[in-house]
Amino acid sequence: MKKDIPSRVNLPFGFVIHVKQLDRKEFLDECGECYAMWETLGGGGIIYVNKGRNKKRRRADFAHEMLHAIADWQVWALDSKHVNVRG
């Protein structure tokens, strides 16, 4: 069976995004009053998603947090010399 939301996303240059779907109580304890959360951890990070929300909302929450993750990946890639912006 195909997963609704991936448990891991690999971006270029070794940047790994882990995805944890937590039940409602565990999510509130870990993340507080929000729907999802992105946490940067050096060469990657973790997206936390509240499993208590319906599928469409979890997908939207995941997509929103992926935007934060991709923005951090871009900064990380430039800072870690994996890309050359001078051409």
Tokens of 86: 């001078």
Give the number of residues written for the chain: 87
Per-residue pLDDT of 56-67, as tens digits, reads 999 999 999 999
Question: Left (φ > 0), alpha (ψ -120 to 50) or beta: where does 6 sit?
Answer: beta
Q: Is the pTM of this model over 0.85?
A: yes
Q: What is the pLDDT of residue 86?
A: 66
Residue 64 identity: H
- Mean pLDDT, to the nearest integer, of 39-50? 94
**CA–CA dist 49, 87 (Å, integer):** 38
